[in-house]
Structure 1
């Protein structure tokens, strides 16, 4: 399943980019399907910044899939690489359950858009039913399809809500300095 979202934020690209990169844990309040984001690590090397965050989701699991999986599927670790010279973030998500079965990766481009910033988020999520263990073989393809659809439908709104959160965060910061 492809992930594709564009978001516009009426603030300069360097500010929006740095806010996304450095203030991520502060946006949980703007994402109702996310319970918590924990910062794990930051490394800088060769002009790149490598970040690791743990995410804890709170969305619903489809009823058919609930018999075989639990809410831990909605927890994941995000590994991102930020290239300040290109204003891009490449990311990969590793779920805490079915790690071998779930492939989710993408890239965000932060582009100048008049007086603001356009964020183009592109990625994909693929679930390999052959890698789902401990479930009846006859159901693994169906479960994989349901989970892929469910996660895919949650990722896009999370990106949108995060963009709205960044916008609100920057508006409040601007108001407090005025």
Structure 2
């Protein structure tokens, strides 16, 4: 199991940043490296103010040449299942990748905490990646190492990097909006 963590400080209040991360993903996709699009698939607003949201991410990373033919463009993406608390302080998520879905368990939390005397946000993105060795055994021996490399690159590198870029892109969008919006 591999743990990953990313911490980002922003100069906007936590509820504004969290609402932006929840609601502006389609607008920030162009600012993210190797991300073609992010689109909401489903959204269920809860009576208590929370929200269940599924976003589809489509990516176009540069893959090692050894993966040509094994990984096709339709495999390069994932569903991001997110459950948002009513106060927007916590988002619990899990990622359902299109590539090697049976072998990958990736889940975590994102917290939006007050910083800078309440004027800013500390966004904490934490997750765990577990690759099931039994599921990997279904992949031909010659492809196991490149497949593991692709999974680790996709989840262990692209996702945390894009979290940082995502919240920074949201912060830039918030600069253009009136502060009365959450």
Q: Same fold (TM over 0.5)?
A: yes
- Note the 1:22-101 alignment, pairs <5 A: 22-45=23-46, 47=48, 48-85=50-87, 87-101=89-103
Q: Is the 8 A contact 1:101 1:131 kept in 2?
A: yes
Structure 1 unaligned blocks of 5 or more: none
Structure 2 unaligned blocks of 5 or more: none
- Are residues 32 and 138 of structure 1, via their aligned partners in 2, closer, same or farther at CA, if it must alter by over 3 Å? closer
Q: Is the 8 A contact 1:65 1:146 kept in 2?
A: no
Could you state the TM-score of these two structures normalised by the residue count of structure 2?
0.86
Correspondence for 2:175? 171
Displaced runs of 4 or more, over 6 A: none
Report which stretch shifted further, 53-62 or 131-140: 131-140
TM-superposed deviation, 1:23 = 1.5
1:126 equivalent to 2:157? Answer no
Number of equivalences: 175
- Are residues 38 and 157 of structure 1, via their aligned partners in 2, closer, same or farther at CA, if it must alter by over 3 Å? same
1:19 equivalent to 2:20? Answer yes
**Backbone CA RMSD of aligned residues:** 2.2
TM-superposed deviation, 1:135 = 3.2
- Note the 1:99-138 alignment, pairs <5 A: 99-114=101-116, 115-132=119-136, 135-137=139-141
Residues of 2 paired with 1:159 and 1:173: CA distance?
21
Could you state the TM-score of these two structures normalised by the residue count of structure 1?
0.88
TM-superposed deviation, 1:69 = 2.0
